[in-house]
Chain A
Amino acid sequence: MRADISPRAKVGLYGLMCVLLIPFVFPTWWMVTSSIKPISDIFAFPPQLVPQNYDWTTYSKVFELQPFVRQYWNSAYIAAVVTVGTMIISSMAGYAFARIRFPYANAVFMIVLLGLLIPSEVTIVPLFQMFLKAGMVNTHWPLILVPIFGAPSVFATFVMRQFFVTLPAELEEAARVDGLGRFKIFTKIALPLAKPALASVAIFTFLHSWNLFLEPIVFLSSADMFTLPQALTQYTDAYGGPMWNIQLAAATLTALPVLIVFIIAQKQFVEGLAHTGLKG
């Protein structure tokens, strides 16, 4: 890192960052403040930075109009299961691709990487038919199985592989001399070292699952089963017109917890990534 920065340069840097921050922060600020505005003020021009009239009933309506707590739970547990499942699957696969020599390893790796390349819109119809035949439509199985085993986990496997490649070979050789088998080497030696990479995989996976939009719309049909992004689109008046302020209140409620978790854990996250194979 560079040595001390002159006070004048500091002012310049702070100023630059503050200006750059506007497009990142303003929309969120607008979302949060508009969630307590009466609907007529949402469209006011110029937009009000601070609400002039308050309507706190939007937040109680979020819970009245839909089983929002249940939907919150759906999103949370699906994201948790997907995150843990992806960590297991991708660390095993990533470890094997990085550290174990086995026939056709490169070919298999290429096949797995295909998963990175396929937009979910492409395969949604056949997937829907498969899950329908398996009797899993309007259950959470598709939202759990596909991310853990299918295309979305490939990125995680890639990250884990990049990390395990950097492990010094001596560690494993020493373990072998001690008589440890592959699985033990993996669980006792490699995994504990992989905590930072696992942390970043966890965060990426959680966010991906938490924000999933197309799949829930296709696979789920009853309000009790909905996830949050899908539930957000359901706050409409009798004629399909969106109830903006309630929608924004619900959106605020879905964003804040994740934001808080990130604020608490961001140091570990950033520093964790610095030690993964994604660095230079």
Chain B
Amino acid sequence: MAVAQENAHPEGRSSSPFWTIARRDSLAGFLFIAPQLIGIVVFVLIPLGLVFWYSLHEWNVLANTFTYTGAQNYRMLMEDESLLEVLGATAIFSAGLVIFNLSLALLLAVLLNQRLAGIAIFRTLFFSPVVVSLVAWTIVWGFLLQKNGGINGMLLTFGIEGPNWLREETTAMISVIVVQVFKNVGLNMILFLAALQGVPKELYEAARIDGAPAFKQFRRITLPLISPTILLTSIITIVGSLQVFAQIAVLTQGGPGLSTTVLVYYLYQQAFQFHFFGYGSTLSILLFAIVAILTFAQWQMRKRIVFYES
């Protein structure tokens, strides 16, 4: 208290002794975050709690029955043979998406960071898919990836017979990853570009005087300095990759086999197509747990991969 009062600058007009700066600040802080916090409680935490509640029930929507079954849905989760395959597909999809997305975004950002005439036009064009409606984008790619679609038509002019993209397990996975990356890589690209432009130019000049080759400059100066951005974009991209749904629904419907059935799509099938809302809720809880653990792990790793924090 004494310390606080000592610090108390003449806060102006009518400050009663009770309203120390610390107290005023606490109140102000709570008021500032109140709308967001209430929103999170109402629109995230309560629904999440309800989803957990559903997951303890067998809920037949059509027959309108809602029976408490305890951990039965969770036992079903352990015994679900398809789930392993689904989790495998999810891991491949997310890993592939993050790696391809971040490396392409970084490559594009480095290219766009060059001082070239007309670079703004390229920047706009690389970003343009971000503003195209996801549904339209996916439908168009669905056409292009057909066996007799645009991609194979293009390959044929080079004398290559293209694969049946959406029908082979490997190429189907590659296709859904690539379609998603081209749609959204523009966002990460812009974030990286901003980060690159924030790197002090003097550092490069110093390195050049020392005779460091361009690649070394990139590894020693650029990468460490933009590492916070890499961390942020990788978190956003991983979390986003676990939520990809419409693309799978339009392009492959999870096939061939279960090869592109990622967890969100599986959840959607169970809850909305098969009407197993109880089991769907259990899968929701699983998805939430996976996302939370991954994010926590990345956050913990930041000390090792991020070289400094602003």
Is there contact, CB below 8 Å, between A179 and B51?
Answer: no
- The answer to whether the Cβ of A135 comes within 8 Å of any Cβ in the partner chain is no
Chain B nearest CB, measured from A82 CB (Å): 12
Is there contact, CB below 8 Å, between A229 and B11?
Answer: no
In the complex with contacts A125-B271, A207-B130, A108-B37 CB distance below 8 A: yes
- The answer to whether the Cβ of A57 comes within 8 Å of any Cβ in the partner chain is no
Chain A nearest CB, measured from B247 CB (Å): 11
Is there contact, CB below 8 Å, between B123 and A151?
Answer: no
- The answer to whether the Cβ of B190 comes within 8 Å of any Cβ in the partner chain is yes
In the complex with contacts A117-B295, A181-B12, A255-B133, A279-B198 CB distance below 8 A: yes
Complex interface residues of chain B between 1 and 50 (CB less than 8 A to chain A): 9-12, 22, 24-30, 32-33, 35-40, 42-48, 50
Known: A30-B143, A116-B239, A280-B195. 10 other contacts (CB 8 A): A2-B114, A31-B132, A45-B153, A89-B36, A118-B48, A122-B51, A150-B42, A247-B139, A251-B135, A279-B198
Is there contact, CB below 8 Å, between B43 and A145?
Answer: yes
- We find that the number of chain A residues with CB closer than 8 angstroms to chain B is 105
Is there contact, CB below 8 Å, between B35 and A92?
Answer: yes
28 pairs across A/B with beta carbons < 8 Å? A13-B111, A24-B125, A27-B144, A92-B33, A102-B25, A102-B28, A111-B40, A112-B36, A115-B44, A117-B295, A121-B264, A123-B284, A125-B271, A125-B277, A154-B36, A165-B310, A182-B24, A182-B25, A182-B32, A232-B136, A248-B140, A266-B124, A269-B190, A270-B194, A274-B195, A278-B194, A279-B197, A280-B195
- The answer to whether the Cβ of B245 comes within 8 Å of any Cβ in the partner chain is yes
In the complex with contacts A5-B114, A276-B194, A127-B47 CB distance below 8 A: yes
In the complex with contacts A92-B33, A270-B123, A276-B194, A179-B12 CB distance below 8 A: yes
In the complex with contacts A112-B37, A232-B135, A254-B136, A123-B156 CB distance below 8 A: no
- Chain B residue contacts of A280, Cβ below 8 A: 195, 198-199, 225-229, 310
- The answer to whether the Cβ of B287 comes within 8 Å of any Cβ in the partner chain is yes
In the complex with contacts A13-B116, A16-B111, A93-B36, A27-B28 CB distance below 8 A: no
Is there contact, CB below 8 Å, between B229 and A23?
Answer: no
Is there contact, CB below 8 Å, between A28 and B132?
Answer: yes
Is there contact, CB below 8 Å, between A114 and B44?
Answer: yes
* B181 closest partner in A (C-beta): A23
* A29 closest partner in B (C-beta): B140
Is there contact, CB below 8 Å, between A23 and B182?
Answer: yes
- The answer to whether the Cβ of B100 comes within 8 Å of any Cβ in the partner chain is no
Is there contact, CB below 8 Å, between B127 and A266?
Answer: yes
- Chain B residue contacts of A21, Cβ below 8 A: 122, 125-126
Cα A17 to Cα B111 with chains together (Å): 8
- Chain A residue contacts of B193, Cβ below 8 A: 270, 273-274
Is there contact, CB below 8 Å, between A122 and B37?
Answer: no
In the complex with contacts A95-B32, A122-B51, A278-B229, A117-B136 CB distance below 8 A: no
